[in-house]
Amino acid sequence: MKFKMRALRVAVLGCLLMSGAAASATDIEVLHWWTSGGEAKAAAQLKSIMESKGYTWKDFAVAGGGGENAMTVLKTRVVSGDPPAAAQIKGPSIQEWGQEGVLANLDPVAKIEKWDHMLPAAVANVMKFDHHYVAVPVNVHRVNWLWVNPAVFQAAGATVPKTWDEFPAAAEKIRAAGYIPLAHGGQPWQDFTVFESVVLGVGGADFYRQALVDLDQDALRSDTMKRAFEVFGALRADIDPDAPNRDWNQATTMVINGKAAMQLMGDWAKGEFTQAGKVPGKDYECVAAPGSQGAFTFNVDSLVMFQQDADDVAKGQQVLASAVLSPAFQKVFNLAKGSIPVRTDMDMASFDACARKSAQDFQAAAQSGSLVPSIAHQMAVPAATAGAMQDVVTQFFNTPDAPVERALAQLAQAAQVQ
Ligand code: BGC
């Protein structure tokens, strides 16, 4: 009897996913932090797909790059017993939420649509809690990018730096020509984003993994980490005095407008170039952050579903998950967002040059063992540990002349926070 009921429910769900029509407009509330121009355009694609399926998209956008604000607001809502249907939550945090016993089960849609075959195993595993799907992956962002304005480089007679050793000379020429070498927003998550790219470029993927994923104490206190802090500290001289508190997309605009030469940021920045009508290879360049060619720091966005009392909302969650992984959505969303599809079977021909390079580099890095999770974007270690490490990094960056030895010791200590 139980089995029959389950089979019936799966059959009904199958019809629902195919017809896509909800009986009456059910609200599906989705918490996210996609509020910049490119991000909002990408999010609007999901809204319109859900509306075409008869649902009302209840937008729960909490501004703040990197998502710290959104996570604070989410905790309050869940604690008060009123979680949204879906929320943008990533990496190890999915497990932390799973342990709270508040997540919904997406196995029905995952089974029908064969997610286990559609998704890379490494991604699928992150989306499961206790062997059940509780989240749907949206995309793959690459973090270790350097965004370049070639006209500024040309005007300054500088060459795009391929290593951190080459960086100071290029920055010096750019500064001398009257431009800002590095567009940056002084917010802790942006400092940490730059820091992880420096660690990758200075130490390589194996070192990055030892230090920032395995949190190996020797690696964290090593000479390589010392060098990474030195390189990172030297970047203070390459950013402008108005950087504190600047949002990441405003920093991207400085590169777009030719006020600054470069930005170290994940490829959500490309969404801003696209939104401004800029073309890669002509108006801007996307190159690997210095020293990190061949490596790929990944950041997979995902929507986690929370248990709901209302049956129609619970069904809507399965419909939402199905829409997110549909080829049509994967294309329009990722074109606007700057990321690449998480489905491995997508044709990349209609994507821009940066996305095609990202997809190629992703495959190559996966094969060479140089694919590493972003610590700054909640992919690598538990939130509490990453938060403690981020505090050390941002304090170091914002304290001119802060001793490197002290930062090393503090980072190693922060890595033990659980
Ligand atoms: C998210 C991206 C978002 C970026 C800036 C990252 O942590 O993964 O989706 O665009 O933060 O807000």
Whole-number Å distance between alpha carbons of 214 and 263: 28
C-beta of residue 183 within 8 angstroms of C-beta of residue 247: no
C-beta of residue 249 within 8 angstroms of C-beta of residue 272: yes
Ligand 1 centroid to Cα of residue 386, in Å, is 16
| CATH number of the domain residue 284 falls in | 3.40.190.10
pLDDT band at residue 18 using 50, 70 and 90 as cut-offs: low
Residue whose CA is closest, atom 10 of ligand 1?
A: 268
Task: Determine what percent of the chain is predicted with pLDDT higher than 90.
Answer: 93
- The residue segments making up the domain with residue 341 are 10-138+301-356
C-beta of residue 64 within 8 angstroms of C-beta of residue 32: no
Residue whose CA is closest, atom 1 of ligand 1?
A: 66
Question: What does the DSSP assignment read for 282-332?
Answer: TTBEEEE-TT-TT-EEEE--EEEEBP-SSHHHHHHHHHHHHHHTSHHHHHH
Per-residue model confidence (pLDDT) at position 288: 98
Indicate whether 388 belongs to any domain: yes
In this structure, the answer to whether residues 252 and 321 fall within a common structural domain is no
Indicate whether 205 belongs to any domain: yes
Q: Which of 116-125, 224-233, 290-299, 387-396 has the lowest mean pLDDT?
A: 116-125
| Token pair listed for 235 | 């970047």
Helix (H/G/I), strand (E/B), else coil: 168: helix
Residue whose CA is closest, atom 6 of ligand 1?
A: 66
Indicate whether 168 belongs to any domain: yes
Overall average pLDDT of the 264-290 stretch: 98
Ligand 1 centroid to Cα of residue 303, in Å, is 13
- Give the other-Cβ count within 10 Å of 402's Cβ: 16
Residue whose CA is closest, atom 4 of ligand 1?
A: 66
Is the entire prediction scored with pTM above 0.85?
yes
C-beta of residue 396 within 8 angstroms of C-beta of residue 409: no
Residue to probe by mutation, ligand 1, list 31, 32, 34, most atoms within 8 Å of CB = 34
Q: How many domains does the chain have?
A: 2
Question: Among 113, 155, 97, which Cα is nearest to 302's?
Answer: 97
Q: What is the mean pLDDT of the chain?
A: 95
Residues with CB under 6 Å of ligand 1 are: 33, 39, 65-67, 141, 268, 299, 301, 377
Indicate whether 4 belongs to any domain: no
CA distances 48 to 54, 63, 113, 258, 291, Å, are: 10, 21, 21, 34, 41
356, 378, 394 - which closes a domain? 356
